Amino acid sequence: MPLIILGFIFLGKGMMVKTIIAVAVITVATDYVFSAVPVYDGEKILAALFGGVLLGTGLGFIYLREGTSGGADIINRLIYKKIPHISLGKIALAVDAVIITSAMFVFRSVEAGLFAIVAIFVSGRVLDMLIYGGLQGKILFVFSDNYEEISRKILDEHHRGVTLLSGTGAYSGQERKVICCAVQKNQYVKIKHIVAEADPAAFIIIANAGEVLGEGFSQNRIS
């Protein structure tokens, strides 16, 4: 309850209403649905791995709808609000690691804690993949004298926006245009082919873009 109150103050009414709904659903599912499922008594490492996948998937769906599952998730969102440059999956991993380390001393079970760390690591990776995977892309910087032809083909054939940056060669001192273009991960190979056909001597820099938001890409903004 103290965390939910803090959530209402710092995260907003909308998110916390969704959190209360999520907590209610999780409570009912735990008491009346999961209690009827046979207990898995196989390899613990498999339980940790697949449990982490299911946990990360569930949390990902909740986060994508601007909610939390309560408890430590509220702490995760509060931390993320202050330091948004760190992904939610990494924040969740750090917070849960502190909790699990404490639990290892309380319950005197190092093995259970180690399996739990495996589960939350997998969960964090899945969580980040769901939240940020669709927002990732590639950014290309193309240095070519045929920038007009390359820009036109990118615009016409792939309907991707192109920005022409003004640059000056440090060695030659010449003014030149630099093509800047953000594309989906599965498109940059086609853009490379366009550049190679138009100017085999072109210089290209390709970098990973952690998130690409806006028109033509995902409109989802995790706040």
Between 124 and 210, the higher pLDDT residue: 124
Q: What is the pTM of this model?
A: 0.64
Does 19 lie in the same domain as 64? yes
- 170 assigned to some structural domain: yes
- 44 assigned to some structural domain: yes
Does 120 lie in the same domain as 23? yes
Does 126 lie in the same domain as 175? no
- Whether the per-residue pLDDT at 215 is higher than 80: the answer is no
Does 142 lie in the same domain as 130? no
Does 84 lie in the same domain as 147? no
**Containing domain of residue 186, as a range?**
136-209
What's the CATH code of the domain at 156?
Answer: 3.30.70.120
Q: Which helix (H) or strand (E) holds 19?
A: helix 13-28
Does 120 lie in the same domain as 47? yes
Does 141 lie in the same domain as 166? yes
State the amino acid at position 70 in one-letter form.
G
Instruction: Choose the final residue of a domain: 134, 163, 194.
Output: 134
Domain count, the chain: 2
DSSP the chain: -HHHHHHHHHT-HHHHHHHHHHHHHHHHIIIIIGGGSPPP-S-HHHHHHHHHHHHHHHHHHHHHTT---STHHHHHHHHHHH-TTS-HHHHHHHHHHHHHHHHHHHHT-HHHHHHHHHHHHHHHHHHHHHHHGGG-EEEEEEE-TTHHHHHHHHHHHH----EEEEEE-TTT--EEEEEEEEE-TTTHHHHHHHHHHH-TT-EEEEEEES--BSTTSB-----
Does 91 lie in the same domain as 162? no
- 38 assigned to some structural domain: yes
What are the pLDDT digits (tens) for 114-157?
999 999 999 999 988 887 766 678 899 999 999 999 999 998 88
